[in-house]
Structure 1
Amino acid sequence: STLKNSFKHLSNFRVIDKVSGKKVRTYLWEPSEGRDSLLSAGDYLRLQLKVGGLWRDTWRVYFVAPEEELIMPDSGDVANIGIHLPFRSGDEFAFTSFAADMDQTLAKHQLKNIAVVPNPYVAAAAWESQRMSASGRGERKINFIHLPQQAQISIFNVSGDHVISLDHLSGIDDGALAWNLQTKDGLDLAPGVYIYYVDSALAGTFTGKFAVIK
Structure 2
Amino acid sequence: MKLAIFGGTGRIGSEVARLALKENIEVRALVRDEKRASNIIPGAELIVGDAKVENHIKETIRGCDTVFSGLNTDKTDTLSQAIPLIINTMRDTGIKRIITIGTAGILNSRNEKGKYRFQTNESKRKKTFAAKEHVKVYEALQASSLEWTIICPTYLPDGKRQGCIRFELDQLPENGKKISVDDTAQFAFDELHKDRFVYHRVGVCY
TM norm structure 1: 0.20
- Tell me which protein shows more strand as a share of its residues: 1
Answer with 1 or 2: which has the greater Rg. 1
- Tell me which protein shows more helix as a share of its residues: 2
TM norm structure 2: 0.21
Q: Using CA pairs under 8 Å that are at least 6 residues apart, name the structure with larger relative contact order, 1 or 2.
A: 2
